[in-house]
Structure 1
Amino acid sequence: MSVRRVLVLFSSALLALVGLTVPAAAAQTRAAGDVITARAISAPGFFYANVWSITYRSTSTTGAPITVSGTVIVPKGATASTPIVGYAPGTHGLGDQCAPSRHLEAGDETEGLLIHQYATRGIAVAVTDYEGIGTPGPHTYMAGRSEGNVTLDVVRAALRLPGTGLSAGTKVAIVGYSQGGHGAGWAAQLAPTYAPELNIAAYAVGAPPADLKIVAEHNDGGDNAGLVFAAGYGVDMTYPELDMTPYLNDTGRAAVADLADDCVDELQSDKYAGHTLSDYLTEDLLNRPEWSAKVDAQKLGGATPRTPVLLYHSNGDEILPVQVSVNLRAAWCAGGGNVTFWRTNTGGHFATAALMSPSVTGWVADRLAGRSVTGNC
């Protein structure tokens, strides 16, 4: 039996024991973006806003209904004209305890200051936890279509949440960095068909892992090798027809059991650093056609966003090579996209997220205010 099936059966059994309904089954009677549960919370630092922890209906990469958790932050006094940002977080990990919603409620969210950049400007923010973080089932890490869907649906849920003062037609921006850049990029590609009713004014896509094969080659055997194996696990969890189990050696089986609930600090720790995929596998899965095709399916660039996009990436990014964004820009520009590309010299991966935040927030705020932009394709 595959790792995925064991985790799904375990989640269902656990819910049955405590007398709850399996969320995916419950979500079948709801539309994508519908709110399932909501509770007002006191999120430290957001004294100027009303904050809710929610669960909502979305759609997996394979088209199945799923329940996703998230956080909605609405500045007090919001009106029908208050804009909203759909916020796709960077990598937090694979376990439920890693969920951004839990950290926002606890007051120790690592991206809290980036979220404040929008909220303190009077912009509502809807933050997704992604599929399988904070809700039953495995996290489908790096599954692009799921990331895009849940990011669009957390905005839908925020606009349908009673008591916010927001309106369905308000202006929307979708933003994200790192894994969040992947999610924001996928949202940009999917929105015209998946969420055409949203009034999206802009996307900000920061340092996206736009091509997982290039990212894997760059990091395999390096300091961030744990993220490569986690991405392989995430792709395995995404598609029922895949099963990594027969290709795991003893080290690989132990690693999968360990990483399935790891947060990002553990994925980037010494227990994975320096390892290659060959340390865990009996065969190079990227050379198997069924695996190669599914990894390629997470690649950005196959469709062109119809709304202005800010794409930014540092030359000094040690985790995600800037070439993936150079290639993505070329693909989106070739499709006639309105793309503004900032290729920066702002240092490493994490430094760039912080250093670029004010400029990125300002660019997004300009688009939400109705100011036009001509890209630099």
Structure 2
Amino acid sequence: MASAVLGAALTIPVATAQQASAAPSLCTASEGDIYAAAPAQVDGAPGDLLACREVKLPGVSGVFLKAWKVRYVSTNVKGAKTVATGFVAVPQTAWTKGGSRPVVAFHPGTAGLGPQCAFSKQMTGAYVDHYEAPNIAEFLKAGFAVAATDGQGYIDGRVHTYMVGREAGQAVLDIARTSRQIPGGSLRPDGKVGIAGYSEGGQAALWAAQLAASYAPELDVAGAAAGGVPGDLKVTAAGLNGGLFAGFAADALIGHNAAYPDMPFDELLNDVGRKAVADAKKLCLYGTLGRFLGARVENFTKDKLTLDQIWQLRGPDGTWGELADRSRLGVDIGTPASNARYKIGFPVFQYRGLLEEIIPTETEDATRAAYCAAGITTTWKATYVGEHLTTDWLAAGDVTRFLADRFEGKPATGNC
């Protein structure tokens, strides 16, 4: 759920078997081990399991399951290996629908930048400020395993790279790989993969869909579902600035600074801005919204910079505006037979609510239109009678059915 001011477009090489490191033989890591700072050099290939511990998911009711927190290898926006965290949950009822049990690679909506806000911490009961336990339960009740990433940056000494779409998409695909490596686990490499997420998670889901063929070609991705998608970060930022949900814009600015530390940022801030950044790094979702209610980016900089002026600022990675434009979803996408940079060979479900009040509907609609224009089989639904948050829950059944049909090999016709 978010705005963002930037993104990235570097091509990440697919990992080779020679890079792989040995997975742990037991899930005996401590809580501190999971979230420990990353070493100077991260060994292993993207998706390699680094550590795990068995956990409970107290917010997920009505399903018998086993779950593990995981620490795994991913890649950042510059192409360097890094560490990400999340959890894997597997129903303990038998999978009876043919083939190996499928897994839903999931990215949550906005949690906040504070270290206590990590989705894997909230879902295991350490802190509760999140809202997607019902969605996780829906997948598990359908018999799917769930591999849910926190996204990158919820480890000691780091900040979540909020709304950096490429990093989020890579974290989603990598945790699908990780899910097959749990010691004593039952998930198999030939199981199909579905991709899902809403709001921040919706952006991550579509980035994962766009990157799947090049970044994780060994995954058998059957379909992707993404709702409330902030497809154009400039449009979203302009809509959030000064409004009720300006906290999402603040988190996005800070998250992108975490991904691009050499770009101009700290030197632009006034005393109010420095205090705001420090506060945001400690808060979860509702605390962030309260802290930044009605805030405007102009009030946090020494020179009262507007968003349009920020886009023009140049650093080692280009201008902030260039980075934002590179992160727009639906650009240079196509079918496997096309010459597009991002080839998508599976159906996609996109959706939003009738009463959407956070993400500008123009960018949600434009993302869907771009997918249709590219010839990608796209199912679109914009008739949920809900605002941003409630639409996440209202659509959960449709998302689960869409992925179930893809896992069973049923054709999708789309409604472009």
Q: Common fold, TM-score beyond 0.5?
A: yes
1:103 aligns with 2:119: no
Give me the identity figure in percent: 37
State the distance in 1 between where 2:213 and 2:289 align. Answer: 36
Match of 1:23 among 22, 28, 38: 38
Residue of structure 1 equivalent to 2:409: 370
Q: Structure 2 CA distance, aligned partners of 1:233 and 1:222? A: 18
Tell me the CA shift for residue 301 of structure 1: 1.0
1:62 pairs with one of 60, 78, 81:
78
CA contact (8 A) 2:104 2:146 kept: yes
Residue 7 of structure 1 corresponds to none
Candidates 319, 327, 330, aligned match of 1:301:
330
Deviations 1:282-323 (A, max 9, x none): 223123351111222221112243210001012321001221
Alpha-carbon separation, structure 2, partners of 1:42 and 1:261: 25
Q: Distance in 2 between matches of 1:185 and 1:168?
A: 22
Q: 2:103 — aligned with what?
A: 84
Q: Which moved more, 1:316-325 or 1:83-92?
A: 316-325
Query: CA contact under 8 A between 1:203 and 1:308: conserved in structure 2?
Result: yes
Contact 1:37 1:55 in 2 (8 A): yes
Amino acid corresponding to residue 58 of structure 1 in structure 2: S
3-state SS in 1 of match to 2:263: coil
Counterpart position of 2:266: 245
Query: CA offsets per residue over residues 349-374 of structure 1, 9 Å max, x none?
Result: 01111111112211111111111101
2:240 aligned with 1:219, yes or no?
Answer: yes
Letter in 1 for 2:50: I
Shift in Å at residue 77 of structure 1?
Answer: 4.6
1:24 Cα offset (Å): 4.2
CA-CA distance at 1:85 after TM superposition = 0.2
Tell me the residue number matched to 1:291.
Answer: 320
Structure 1 CA distance for aligned equivalents of residues 185 and 178 of structure 2: 11
- For the Cα contact (< 8 Å) 2:386–2:394, is it kept in 1? no
1:1-377 map, 5 Å = 22-25=37-40, 27=42, 29-44=43-58, 45=60, 48-77=64-93, 81-106=100-125, 108=128, 109-269=130-290, 271-281=291-301, 282=303, 283-284=305-306, 285-288=310-313, 290-302=319-331, 303-304=333-334, 305-377=344-416
- Distance (whole Å) between structure 1 residues aligned to residue 165 and residue 289 of structure 2: 21
SS at match of 1:139: coil
Q: TM-score, normalised by structure 1?
A: 0.90
Counterpart Cα distance in 1 of 2:262 and 2:119: 30
SS in 1 for 2:163: coil
1:69 and 1:135 in contact (8 A); partners too:
no
d(CA) in 2 for partners of 1:21, 1:116: 28
State the alpha-carbon separation in 1 of the partners of residues 37 and 105 from structure 2. Answer: 26
Q: Distance between the aligned counterparts of 1:180 and 1:279, measured in 2?
A: 29
CA gap 1:21/1:84 in 2 versus in 1, 3 angstroms: closer
* Matched length: 357
Q: How well do the aligned residues superpose, as a CA RMSD in angstroms?
A: 1.9
The Cα shift of 1:69 comes to 0.9
Query: Where does structure 1 differ by over 3 angstroms across 4 or more consecutive aligned residues?
Result: 77-80
Q: Which amino acid aligns with 2:330?
A: G
Bigger fraction of residues in helix: 1
Amino acid of the structure 1 residue aligned with 2:134: L
Gaps of 5+ in 2: 1-32, 335-343
SS of the aligned residue for 2:40 comes to helix
Q: Is contact 1:308–1:338 with CA below 8 Å preserved after alignment? A: yes
Change (3 A) 1:24 1:308: farther
The residue type equivalent to 1:331 in the other structure is: A
What SS class does the counterpart of residue 180 from structure 2 fall into? Answer: helix
